[in-house]
Amino acid sequence: MTKHVHTVFRNFSAALSLGALLLAGTSCSAKSPDSQGDAGKGPSGTLKYQGAVSGSATFQSADCAFDGHQHLVTFVAPHQDKFHPEIKTPGAFIDVAMVDPGAIVHFAVDHQHVTDQTAFMVTGQKGAVSVAKKGDAWVLTISGLQIPNLDVMNQQTATLSGTFVCTHLING
């Protein structure tokens, strides 16, 4: 059972991330979903996590995809190279899909060495995840999000917090 949940998490997370990236024509400036420039400068922000796992991860970059109404659809940190999806930045990974009625959040302490104890997922999350345009930048904020790990036999949670700037806008 645990292996099945772990496989579902990895497949869903990969499909969600790659799907958002494949929707993209090009990356554009992090300043506006309408602009057509180079990617913004990092770092994107720092995620702090405490509980079943504790620590922090600073992401140098983050991908954001928007719908036709300029609503954030997905946020992925660190930036994933859509032309070379086999290349992965070592370390922590976070994927947030903004869907109604709430966000789907995936977090892995080390996405190259995922275990049920170090991979976390929550669906339908409201309130703890928000996105807003601040000046010329799009900012995603996670405030005190309690998220369970995938170890269904001994499930524990971690609390995530951080503020992130979109450095790569996809399908702008």
* Residue pLDDT, tens place only, 137-156: 889 999 999 999 999 999 99
**pLDDT, position 81:** 73
**Most distant CA pair in the chain, distance:** 48
> In Å, what is the CA distance from 42 to each residue of 57, 98, 136, 172?
13, 22, 15, 19
User: What is the helix (H) or strand (E) element at residue 12, kind and residue range?
Assistant: helix 2-22
The CA angle 66-46-141, to the nearest 5 degrees, is 45
**pLDDT, position 127:** 87
pLDDT band at 128 (very low <50, low <70, confident <90, very high): very high
CB-based burial, 60-80: b 16+ in 10 Å, e otherwise:
ebbbbbbeeeeebbbbbbbbb
pLDDT band at 54 (very low <50, low <70, confident <90, very high): very high
Tell me the pLDDT of the chain averaged across its residues: 79
CA atoms of 172 and 169, how far apart (whole Å): 6
DSSP 83: T
Choose among 88, 128, 104, 98: nearest CA to 13.
Answer: 104
* Residue pLDDT, tens place only, 56-89: 999 999 999 988 877 889 999 998 776 666 667 7
The answer on pLDDT for 28 being more than 60 is no
CB-based burial label for 45 (10 Å; 0-12, 13-18, 19+): buried
